[in-house]
Every structure is written in C-alpha cells, then in structure tokens.
Amino acid sequence: MKPAARIQSSIELVDEILKGIKPADTIITDYFKIRRYAGSKDRRAVNDQIYNILRNRAKLGWLSQKTDLDTTAENLVFMDCVLNDMDVNDLFNGEQYAPAKLTKEQAEALPVLAQLDLATAPDSVRLEYPDWMDDDLRISLGDDFENCLQALNAEAPLDLRINSLHPDCDKAQDLLNKQNIDTTTTEFSPLCLRSAKKVKLGGVQAYKDGIVDIQDEGSQLIALLSGAKGCDLVMDFCAGAGGKTLALGAEMGNKGHLYALDISSKRLYKMRRRLERAGVTNVVLHPIQNETDPWLKQFENRVDRLLIDAPCSGVGAWRRSPESRWKMTPELLDDLEGRQQRILQNAAHLVKLGGRMIYATCSLLKRENEDQIERFLNENKNFKLLPISQVWAETLTTPCPFEGDFMSMRPDQHQSDGFFCAVLERL
C-alpha cells in the first residue's frame, strides 16, 4: 500500500471505531481480513496510527477546539499526521485510494497547530482521562497521579501465564523462543513470561498446545493469592471468559470442584475452548441470574475460596483498551459501585468458617477498592482482613512488594496492568 492509502485506511477505521459499537481491535482485525492485499508492514503502520489516535483522543479533541475543526475521523487522522511531522499536503492528495485533498479548514488549521503547545493543556487533556474523574483519580493515586496516568496511556507488553498443568510447562520459554518470541520472566508471578513485542498467538504452537495463555501478571497474582491449591470447593463468582478460572484450575491441579459463575452465559461459555486447550477438567460452568440466584443456596457456608473479580470501571486496564476510558460515565461508575457492594454482601454467606473471600478489581479507584472493603468489614464482623504480605508469603515464593493490607499493582510501579486485591477470612 502507498503511504496515502494507509492514511485512508486509518480514516475508515477511525470512523468505524468512533461509532463505539465494537472494540477497536475487533474492527481492525475484521477490516484487514477482507483486504488481503495489505502486507504486514501496512497493517502495523495503520494499527500504530489508530492506537496513537486512541491514546491521544483528549489531546486531539483539545486541538480541534483550538482550530475549529470538527472531531471527524478525517480531522483526527489529519491532526495525528501533523503532530507526527508527516507531509499532509502530499498524503491528502485526492488520488485513488488516498484521502481527499485538504479542506480549506484543514489548510487554515496548519499554522495554528504549529503554534499550539500541548504542555499548556489542562491535566485531563495532557494525561488523557475524563475530566469528571479528576477528583477520584487524584484521591486514589496521590503522589503517583502523573506517573501512573502516563503509564496507563503507554503501550502494554504481552503477558503470558505458563500453564503448570502441562507436562512441557518447564520448556515454555524455550518453545516460544524457537518461534522467535523473546520473553523475559517477571518479578512477581513465577508463572509469567513477558514479550515486549505484540505477537499474534494464533499460529504459536506453545499457545495452541495450551502450554501458555494470555494473562496479565497482576491477574495471575490474584489467582495465586486466592490460595486455591489443595482446596475442595472454589468458586469464581464473576468468571467472565475465564482468565482467572483457568489459573485457579491449574493451581488446584484439576482436583476438587471449581465453579465458574457469571451473569453472562455468552461470556462464560466462551471459556469452554480455553479450558479444553489448557487441559483444565475440574470446572463447572454455571450462569446465574444475579448474586441472589436461589441456586446458590446449596453452597451456603461451604466454599473454601470465593473469588469475586468484580465488574468495575477498568481504569487499571486503560493501556490495553485506550478507548474504554471515554465510555465510562459518572452514572455507570455509581452503578458499578452499587453492584460491587451487592455482590460482596450477597455472596459472602457462601464462604465456610475459616474460608476466604478474595475481592479483586482491575480498577485503581479507591471507591471501588479500599472503600468497598472498609464498608463490607464495617457491616460484617464475621470477616477479617488478612494482611497481603501474610497471604503472599503463604501462596508465592517471590518477595511481596506491598506493606499494607492490599495488593495494588500499578503500571508505573510494577509494569503490570492496574489490579487491586484484598483477602478476607471468614470467622
């Protein structure tokens, strides 16, 4: 593809992504599936530009206000090209497969764009977060506010979890290496291999054979801290498509019973193929209506480990889906907070005496994390919070980086996505 044709592809894709119907990566994959003429370099160039635009949405919005350009796909791509010193007069040339010639407004914007200094933009623009989250983010991130938000807007590495159930698990890194996938081990999860480069895993044998699966290091740690090893009855209450269920099943060595529940049967049943590939056989998939589903009654006071990987704002995963930050609203966040409270409150009775409830989110907001635990403990004197260093020492061999009660993984400090975890024991 000629450079101008790549720009035209970016415009078409951004236009589709702005509709907000499907996730960006799905839209990009589908787009290139039917455009076989695009080579891997073309795809990479377009992909990089799209993600650059998604990571700089607030900045491009601010520039569009200053230049009186509407935030259409054409204008966003145009401004991205200008910011990256591309020759827009050459690229926007109106030829076949290329973008239309520069409009009068775009041409007039060029000298204005050259003068604008993004460093003078408000924090929410510079650091790419919704303005309404300003107080919550400052309260939650404290002195790390700037560093953490910058890290949340950077490209994420690919984290893989070694499947300890597989007989070749010790060879995982070598097997990946043989397919030219360089990985490093990480500091906290003994099962994590990290690749700095994006890799399409579909054709990778170690992935197809279930020796590794995709899982961020922070998410791996939550499964390990759950301490499911040796337990008879473990429940993954918000199992989704099974990221943590797979890891819990491996920890249990396929012994005992692992119930994976979710209100979305569609998401839950997506797990089947992953379970098969990983050779996890002790899982029962069960969709529930909600946290008060009568089916749950049979498990009252019986569960050894109850993992609540609660629905949340996903702030900690912003670097993986940069566009998600603009989909959250104050109303949605209030609603999520209510749901988190209800799930904690209604599922807690399932835990047996001496059993543990593990509450986790991929959020960094205090109101979804520490505040939820504080509220729950105030209302439920039959639970106590275990210091995370104690739980870590029981379940992991790596040094615990946390001194307080909670695990709080952050991209700026631990190079993982943002994850929170608290472990409570039933008294």
Ligand X SMILES: C[S@@+](CC[C@H](N)C(=O)[O-])C[C@H]1O[C@@H](n2cnc3c(N)ncnc32)[C@H](O)[C@@H]1O
Q: 3-state SS of the chain?
A: CCHHHHHHHHHHHHHHHHCCCCCHHHHHHHHHHCCCCCCHHHHHHHHHHHHHHHHCHHHHHHHHHHHCCCCCHHHHHHHHHHHCCCCHHHHCCCCCCCCCCCCHHHHHHHHHHHHCCHHHCCHHHHCCCCHHHHHHHHHHHHHHHHHHHHHHCCCCCEEEEECCCCCCHHHHHHHHHHCCCCCEECCCCCCEEEECCCCCHHHCHHHHCCCEEECCHHHHHHHHHCCCCCCCEEEECCCCCCHHHHHHHHHCCCCCEEEEEECCHHHHHCHHHHHHHHCCCCEEEEECCCCCCHHHHHHCCCEEEEEEECCCCCHHHCCCCHHHHHCCCHHHHHHHHHHHHHHHHHHHHHEEEEEEEEEEECCCCHHHCHHHHHHHHHHCCCEEEECHHHHHHHHCCCCCCCCCCCEEECHHHHCCCCEEEEEEEEC
Rounded (5°) CA angle 53-240-34: 45
Instruction: Closer to ligand X by CB, 144 or 371: give it.
Output: 371
Amino acid at position 302, single letter: R
Q: Which of 210, 311, 355, 411 binds ligand X (CB under 6 A)?
A: 311
Q: Which of 52, 93, 264, 395 binds ligand X (CB under 6 A)?
A: 264
Q: How many CB atoms lie within 10 A of CB 180?
A: 9
Assess 318 for contact with ligand X (CB under 6 A). no
Assess 309 for contact with ligand X (CB under 6 A). yes
In the complex, the smallest distance separating the C-beta of residue 223 from ligand X, rounded to whole angstroms, is 8
Assess 244 for contact with ligand X (CB under 6 A). yes
In the complex, the smallest distance separating the C-beta of residue 343 from ligand X, rounded to whole angstroms, is 5
Range 327-386, binding ligand X (CB under 6 A): 339, 343
Q: Which of 243, 249, 316, 411 binds ligand X (CB under 6 A)?
A: 243
Range 204-233, binding ligand X (CB under 6 A): 219
Assess 418 for contact with ligand X (CB under 6 A). no
Q: Are 20 and 26 in contact (CB under 8 A)?
A: no
Count residues binding ligand X (CB under 6 A): 21
Assess 241 for contact with ligand X (CB under 6 A). yes
Assess 321 for contact with ligand X (CB under 6 A). no
Instruction: Closer to ligand X by CB, 54 or 343: give it.
Output: 343
In the complex, the smallest distance separating the C-beta of residue 408 from ligand X, rounded to whole angstroms, is 16
In the complex, the smallest distance separating the C-beta of residue 37 from ligand X, rounded to whole angstroms, is 36
Instruction: Closer to ligand X by CB, 73 or 263: give it.
Output: 263
In the complex, the smallest distance separating the C-beta of residue 354 from ligand X, rounded to whole angstroms, is 24
Assess 322 for contact with ligand X (CB under 6 A). no
Instruction: Closer to ligand X by CB, 204 or 268: give it.
Output: 268
Q: Are 60 and 71 in contact (CB under 8 A)?
A: yes
Assess 251 for contact with ligand X (CB under 6 A). no
- 174 Cβ contact partners less than 8 Å away, ≥ 6 residues apart: none
Q: How many CB atoms lie within 10 A of CB 39?
A: 10
Is 168 among the annotated ligand-binding positions?
Answer: no
> Pick from 370, 294, 368, 308: which is nearest to 338 by CA?
368
Assess 238 for contact with ligand X (CB under 6 A). yes
Q: Are 421 and 357 in contact (CB under 8 A)?
A: no
In the complex, the smallest distance separating the C-beta of residue 240 from ligand X, rounded to whole angstroms, is 3
The contact mask relative to ligand X for 281-300 (x = CB under 6 A, - = no) is: -------x-xx---------
In the complex, the smallest distance separating the C-beta of residue 213 from ligand X, rounded to whole angstroms, is 11
Segment near ligand X (CB under 6 A); pick from 259-267, 279-287, 396-404, 405-413: 259-267
Using CB positions, name the residue nearest to ligand X: 243
Instruction: Closer to ligand X by CB, 127 or 288: give it.
Output: 288
Is 136 among the annotated ligand-binding positions?
Answer: no
Assess 267 for contact with ligand X (CB under 6 A). yes
Instruction: Closer to ligand X by CB, 47 or 226: give it.
Output: 226
Known catalytic residue at 362:
yes
Name the active-site residue from 148, 238, 312, 362.
Answer: 362
Instruction: Closer to ligand X by CB, 335 or 379: give it.
Output: 335
Q: Which residues are catalytic?
A: 362
Q: Could you list the residues that contact ligand X (CB under 6 A)?
A: 219, 237-244, 261-264, 267, 288, 290-291, 309, 311, 339, 343
Q: Would you list which residues are annotated within the binding site for S-adenosyl-L-methionine?
A: 262, 309
